[in-house]
Structure 1
């Protein structure tokens, strides 16, 4: 049994040796002729599909990696651009605010009553928390030359008068306050009356004669009557006319020319200086 196995093994080795020698010879001969040997062709034929698959797979991996790299680059560039846009947007908003403020101040500088009293520019720093009391505080006081009863106005018209003064701030009584009063005149008919605050958004003009020519849309200005307000500053426009309680005179509701809820900058007039 052992002898038969040894003989089979020897025969297999002999055949393997012959095949090897034959393959080496074929390979050497093919190389001399510049061609691939038959064994090489067989191996290439067998491995070719795997090579193609691996090559395609490697190409896909490379393409995917390049895509991811480009995507990351685009995300970085997009983030940088968004940051630039945010900075430019913030800068643009600041410029628009400065532009509006500049327009308001330029408009204020163009306004002045017929007499040239000293004008003090001021900013609103606080407003009354009450819906009934219409008062604001400005950032100018005694050290700036502001005095009680000084007239406060904007480029659009009358705001009110200074009520009390501290060293560096002043409290302003708006013309819409119930305690406020100013002599008024209808610009068209030149009829005069008293303009009072109502505690709301409007003012009321009273003591108009029963036959006075007053209409909706008429402009009301400060009159020559009174010791505080100089003549000719706009108060507002008539929005409605009605008979007084005793029918002996007329009353008119006036929409102030100045929006008291959007005050930012004002001028203070000191006639005595």
Structure 2
């Protein structure tokens, strides 16, 4: 009987200790959970700040890396663009030169009984292009006073003086130059063309000595007539922009705008006649 009581007491003690251990373990876990939850609540805002800061740094680094790449690409594109512009400019220059030479060649083919000397403008003979040009060819090249000078668009003027390696060309804008001309479409001999400069108009020419019954009109193309053998015939000069009648002088006058842009001339060609002892152009 006593032994049974002892076993029962031992069993109660063991169960009590086990139960107490469970209680203590549970309490400890709850406290740890509470502490852990508290620490987590305190740390979470800091984690958000750190995460956000890291993202901003990463974004900034990505921006600078991408910016560097974009800048390098932009520099390459700029370089390529400049090269393309230079090539396009070179192409346009060559095309313009080719077009000018083709125009001169067409005239040369139609007037193959003459020789031609190409030359460059090296200066003005006066204050402006209306006074004339200095060219880089002269007597050593066979150029003589009185020879006619053309450009790709048409008549420029005439050689008025020469040196060994230079010559002066007076343009048709100068009032000292007188040219016998005609209307290209009708063949009507249209009078004498000279330079015509006023305060409001420059770069123009005027035809005088036209009869009142002349049919010359705005838009007509004016060319050299070849009369007097001073100029080869059928060199293009310009287009009529206006016609006026003078009842007192019983004649008409016509204002002509030259085809040649005298402010942008580059290449000139001197026409060499077959007979140079006396400069004359057979037509």
Same fold (TM over 0.5): yes
Contact kept in structure 2, 1:148 and 1:163, CA below 8 Å: yes
Moved over 6 A (4+): 38-41
| Map of 2:82 onto structure 1 | 86
Partners of 1:132 and 1:268 in 2: CA distance: 17
1:95 matched residue in structure 2 = 91
Is 1:180 paired with 2:177? yes
Which piece of structure 1 moves more, 254-263 or 146-155? Answer: 254-263
SS across alignment from 2:228: coil
**What is the TM-score when the length of structure 1 is the normalising length?**
0.73
User: Can you give the 5+ residue segments of structure 1 that lack an aligned partner in the other structure?
Assistant: 1-25, 27-35
Would you say 1:219 and 2:217 are equivalent positions? no
Give the stretch that moved more between structures: 207-216 or 239-248.
239-248
Aligned residue in 1 for 2:39: 46
Matched-pair contact (CA < 8 Å) for 1:114–1:232 = no
1:196 to 176, 194, 206: 194
Give me the whole-angstrom Cα distance separating, in 1, the residues matched to 2:187 and 2:229: 23
Partner secondary structure for residue 226 of structure 1:
helix
- Taking the aligned partners of 1:216 and 1:227, their CA distance within structure 2 comes to 27
Map 1:51-200 → 2, pairs under 5 A: 51=47, 53-112=49-108, 114=111, 116-128=113-125, 130=127, 133-187=130-184, 188-199=186-197, 200=202
Distance 2:104 2:237 in 1: 16
CA deviation string 1:215-253 (max 9, x = no partner):
232222212322320112122223333345753433322
- Asked if 2 retains the 8 angstrom alpha-carbon contact of 1:132 and 1:177, the reply is no
Structure 2 residue corresponding to 1:250, chosen from 234, 249, 252: 252
Structure 2 length-normalised TM: 0.71
User: Deviations along 1:188-236, whole A, 9 cap, x unmatched?
Assistant: 1423522222244222222333433322322222123223201121222
Q: 5+ residue gaps in structure 2? A: 1-24, 277-283
Please state how far the C-alpha of 1:181 moved relative to its aligned partner.
Answer: 0.9
> Aligned equivalents of 2:183 and 2:253: distance in 1?
12
